[in-house]
Amino acid sequence: MCSEPYKRYREVVFEKLQRAFRQEKEICIAAKWIAKSISNNGWIYTSGTGHSHMLAEEIFYRAGGFARVIPILDPDLMLHKDASGSTEVERREGYAKKLFKPYTLTEKDVFIIASNSGRNSVSIELAQIAQEKGAKVIVITNYAHSKSVDSRHSSGLKLFQVSDIFLDTFGEIGDASINLDGLHTNVGATSTVVGAALLNAIMVQAAAIALENGVVPEVFNSSNSNGGETHNDSLISKYKAEIKFL
C-alpha cells in the first residue's frame, strides 16, 4: 500500500481547485469576452512559456474545444528543444514582437496567456502588444508567487498588471506543494492542473453564452470517436490556411 503523501497532494489540489472556482466573476467575464469574440468571427489567441505552454495547447485542437483558436508556440520557449535554454529566452525583452509578426490581432480577438510567476519579459510583452492591438487579455497566473518576486522586465511590471483580467491558480510560491522529509525542496506542482481546469471552465461557460445568444460555436470532436474525424476534417480544411499548427 502507498503511504500518505499522494493523498496529501490530492487534498492540496482539491483545495486549490475549490479556491480557483470561487473566482466566478472572473470566469464569467472571461467567458463573455470569448463568446463575443466567437460571435464576431474573432480569434482566441493563446500562449505560454516553459511549462505554461501546455495551457496554450490545452485549448487548441482539443475534443470539445473551439475551432477558432490560434496558439503562439515557439520552440525556443518550449521544453522539447532546449529546456534550460528556454528559461533564458523567456527573459529577453523584444522577443515577443517577433512572435506576433505573423499575426494580426484586432479588437475582435481575445489573447489568453499563462505564466506561473508572471515576471518574465516575453509573457509581459506579449500581453502588452495584444492590448495595444485592442484584444482583451486574459491571464492565468499564481498571484502569490508573482507578488513575491521582482519583475524581470525593465518596466517593473508583472503579467497580472498588464491584463484586462487575471485568474489566480492559488499555487504555492515555487509551485511545488508537498514537503517530504529528506528533500530540500517541495514536490508536486499544481499550476498545470488548476490552470487547465480554469481554462476549460471558461470555455464551457463561453460556449453556453454563445448558444444563449443564438450562435453555435464550431467545436472539435474527438478524432478517435465514430464520425469525429470527418467532422474535424471539415474544420481543418476551413481553417488550415489561417492556423498554421493545424
Query: In the prediction, which pLDDT does 88 show?
Result: 93
Closest CA relative to residue 165, chosen from 197, 184, 143: 143
Interatomic CA distance for residues 140 and 118, integer angstroms: 9
Domain 5-239 has CATH 3.40.50.10490: yes
Cα angle 41, 131, 150; round to 5:
140
Between β-strands 136-141 and 110-115, what pairing exists: parallel, antiparallel or unpaired?
A: parallel
Between β-strands 44-48 and 69-72, what pairing exists: parallel, antiparallel or unpaired?
A: parallel
C-alpha cell recorded at residue 156: 517593473
User: 26: buried, middle or exposed (CB in 10 Å: 19+, 13-18, 0-12)?
Assistant: middle
- Over the stretch 76-122, which tens digit does the pLDDT of each residue have? 888 888 999 999 989 999 999 999 999 999 999 999 999 999 999 99
Query: In the prediction, which pLDDT does 2 show?
Result: 60
- Residue ranges of the alpha helices (H) in 72-190? 83-89, 95-100, 121-132, 143-148
Interatomic CA distance for residues 155 and 125, integer angstroms: 10
Eight-state DSSP code of residue 52: G
pTM (2 decimals)? 0.96
Query: In the prediction, which pLDDT does 64 show?
Result: 96
Report the helix count and the strand count for the chain, using DSSP H and E: 9, 7
Q: Provide the pLDDT confidence category of residue 29 given band limits of 50, 70 and 90.
A: very high
Q: For 151-155, 177-181, 223-227, which range has the lowest pLDDT when averaged over its residues? A: 223-227
Say yes or no to pLDDT of 146 above 80. Answer: yes
Eight-state DSSP code of residue 175: B
Query: In the prediction, which pLDDT does 227 show?
Result: 81
Q: Provide the pLDDT confidence category of residue 1 given band limits of 50, 70 and 90.
A: low
C-alpha cell recorded at residue 216: 453555435
Element (H, E) at 157: none
Q: Using a pLDDT cut of 70, give the percent of the chain over it.
A: 99
Query: In the prediction, which pLDDT does 228 show?
Result: 83
- Domains in the chain: boundaries: 5-239
Interatomic CA distance for residues 220 and 35, integer angstroms: 16
C-alpha cell recorded at residue 77: 520557449
Is residue 107 helix, strand or coil? coil
- Over the stretch 163-209, which tens digit does the pLDDT of each residue have? 999 999 999 999 999 999 999 999 999 999 999 999 999 999 999 99
Query: In the prediction, which pLDDT does 81 show?
Result: 87
Query: In the prediction, which pLDDT does 225 show?
Result: 87
Interatomic CA distance for residues 223 and 201, integer angstroms: 22
Say yes or no to pLDDT of 3 above 80. Answer: no
Q: At what angle do helices 5-21 and 191-212 cross, to 10 degrees?
A: 30
Average pLDDT for the chain: 95
Interatomic CA distance for residues 146 and 206, integer angstroms: 27
Query: In the prediction, which pLDDT does 167 show?
Result: 98
